[in-house]
Amino acid sequence: MKRILMITTGGTIASQEGEDGLEPKTTGQQMLDLIPELQGLCEIDCVDLLNLDSTNMQPEEWAVMAKAAFEGMKNHDGIVITHGTDTCAYSAAALDTMLIHPKVPVVLTGSQLPAGEEDSDAAHNIYDAFLTACGAPAGVYLTFDGRVIHGLWATKIRTMGFDAFVSVNCPYAGKIVDGKLMMQETAKGKAVAAATVESAVDVRLDSKVAVFKLIPGFDPVLLETVVDLGYHGVVLEAYGCGGITNYRRNLLPAIEKMIHKGMVVAATTQSIFDGCDLSQYEVGVRALKLGVIPAGDLTTEALVVRTMIALGRWTDKKDIEAFLCGDMSPVDRSVPLKNFIE
C-alpha cells in the first residue's frame, strides 16, 4: 500500500464561519475523518503546514510549500496539498517550477465549499487528489472536479461552480471516472525521462514583478512609475495575440525605458486560450523589436510565477528569455490527442 503525505495550507476547504465570515480553521485530520473511503486506498501522514485564506498566499508561502513537498518526497510515494482555490493556479505553477524533476506526484486540490458543509465538493476532490497521488506519473498536478491538470497550465474560471479549473493550452493530464484514475498516455513520457535525473528544489525568486492589464485609454505614465519604484519585471496582459498600444497613448517609449533600465518585460494575452504571438501584427512586432518577451502559451499566472523565478535565478536576459520561452509542455505535442475531457 502506498504512503501519501497530506499537507494542508488553509483555504475554503478548511474554512468555518468566524466573526467576519469564513476563515480557515479545520485541520487535515478533521478533513480526513470525513472521507473513510481513504483508509483502504493508502497509508496517510498529515501535516498542517499553513492556515491561510489563499488570498493571503504570497511568494514566501510558495517556497514553504515547495520545501515541505520536497522533504516529504523522501519517504512518501505521493504528496497531496489542500489549498484555497483563488490563488491555487499560482501555487501550482510555482511548485511545478520550484520542484525540479520530482520523483513522486505532487497534487494540489481544494474546494468551492468548506469541507464541513452539506453538499461540499471537498471530500470528492480530496479523494480524487489521493487517487492521483497514488497513480499518476511523477510531476505536479492540480486535481479538481474529476480533472487532472498539469501544474503549470491550470487557471480558475469560476468563482462558485464546482468545475472551477481548466487546463489552458495544454491537454489535460487525466481524469477520474467512477473512482478510477485515467491518465493521458502522452502525460507519461517526460515523467519517465525525468525519473533518471536527480530531483531538487530551488526556491529562489524576485517578487518585484508588476502586472498591467491593458485597457482602452491606458496611460503610459503607469508603466513609467514601476521604474522609479524599483521593480525588476513587468508582465503585460496585451490584447488578442499580443497587441500593445502604439497610437496616441503610445506605450512603446515607456516600455523601451523599462528595458533600457534592465527590466524584464514579458507579454501574454487577455484571452484564456491560444496563447500570445507578438509576430503576427504590427502592434506586436514593434514591441517585440524593443525586446518584449512573448509568453507563448503561458497563462498570466504561470508567466508571473516564472518571471519572478527567472529573476531570482539569473541576471542575463538571454537566460531569462530562454526560461520564459522554452518548451514547457509536459506532453509530446507531435502526438495526436483524443478529446480526453468531454
* Burial of residue 117 (number of CB atoms within 10 Å: 0-12, 13-18, 19+): middle
3-state SS track over the chain: CCEEEEEEEECHHHEEEECCEEEECCCHHHHHHCCHHHHHCCEEEEEEEEEECHHHCCHHHHHHHHHHHHHHHCCCCEEEEECCCCCHHHHHHHHHHHEECCCCEEEEECCCCCCCCCCCCHHHHHHHHHHHHHHCCCEEEEEECCEEEEHHHEEECCCCCCCCEEECCCCCCEEEECCEEEECHHHCHHHHHHCCCCCEECCCCCCCEEEEECCCCCCCHHHHHHHHCCCCEEEEEEECCCECCCCCCCCHHHHHHHHHCCCEEEEEECCCCCCCCCCCCHHHHHHHHHCCEECCCCCHHHHHHHHHHHHHHCCCHHHHHHHHHCCCCCCCCCCCCCCCCC
Beta-bridge partner residues of 183 = 174
Please report the domains of the chain, with CATH numbers, ordered by start residue: 3-201 (3.40.50.1170), 209-325 (3.40.50.40)
Kindly report the pTM of this predicted structure: 0.95
Catalytic residue positions, numbered: 12, 85-86, 156, 281
Low-confidence ranges of the chain (pLDDT < 70): 186-196, 331-342
| pLDDT of res. 188 | 56
| pLDDT of res. 333 | 52
Residue in 231, 292, 232 with CA at minimum distance from that of residue 267: 292
pLDDT tens figures, 190-237: 555 556 689 999 999 999 999 999 999 999 999 999 989 999 999 999
| pLDDT of res. 178 | 94
| pLDDT of res. 339 | 53
